């Protein structure tokens, strides 16, 4: 499977609440970091899964989500959280998902798709 296909399978699993499938897709040392370092950062597969469960329960899988090829070993998930979570959530967010050996090794939040495409 390509990284984009793996990301699509992971997104589909998340949308149906299949956290066992998500766990299999995440490397044991997977991380997920927010735009700004802080309480949202996840430093383990367990932390990432808990955050995904929380967002699932909050209904974020019902909002528009797009997967974009981010280059070798990278897929960008684009979403619009405010449409589901309300005005306290950002209008747009992008998560750069890095794959190594067929597993998600890290996720990094960005404020916009443009930022995720060019993180420098």
**Tokens 């956290």 sit on residue:** 19
**pLDDT value, residue 57:** 94
CATH number at residue 26: 3.10.450.50
pTM assigned to the model? 0.92
The three-state secondary structure class of 83 is helix
Output the pLDDT for position 83: 85
| pLDDT tens for each residue of the chain, 120 residues long | 899 999 999 999 999 999 999 999 999 999 999 999 988 899 999 999 999 999 999 988 988 899 999 999 999 999 998 888 889 988 899 999 999 999 999 999 999 999 999 877
Per-residue pLDDT, 44: 96
**What residues does 67 pair with on adjacent strands?**
77
pLDDT the model gives residue 18: 98
C-alpha to C-alpha distance for 110 and 87, rounded to whole angstroms:
18
Q: How many domains does the chain have?
A: 1
Task: Note the pLDDT of residue 89.
Answer: 85
List the 93-100 sheet strands across, edge first: 26-33, 103-110, 93-100, 74-79, 65-69
Report the pLDDT value the prediction gives residue 63, as an integer from 0 to 100. Answer: 87
Per-position DSSP letters for 18-77, written without gaps between them: -HHHHHHHEEEEEEEE-SSSSTT-B-SHHHHHHHHHHHHHTTGGGS-EEEEE-STTEEEE
Domain of residue 99, residue span: 3-117
Query: pLDDT at position 82, please?
Result: 85
- R_g of the chain computed on alpha carbons: 13
**pLDDT score, position 118:** 86
């Amino acid at each position: 499977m390509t990284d984009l296909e793996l990301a699509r399978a992971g997104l589909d699993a998340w949308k149906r609440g299949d956290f066992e499938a998500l766990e299999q897709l995440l490397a044991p040392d997977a991380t997920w970091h927010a735009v700004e370092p802080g309480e949202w950062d996840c430093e383990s597969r367990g932390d990432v899964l808990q955050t995904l469960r929380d967002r699932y329960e909050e209904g974020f899988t019902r909002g528009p989500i797009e997967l974009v090829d981010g280059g070798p070993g990278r897929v960008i998930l684009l979403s619009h959280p405010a449409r589901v979570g309300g005005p306290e959530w950002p209008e747009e967010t992008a998560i750069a998902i890095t794959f190594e050996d067929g597993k998600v090794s890290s996720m990094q939040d960005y404020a916009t798709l443009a930022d995720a495409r060019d993180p420098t």
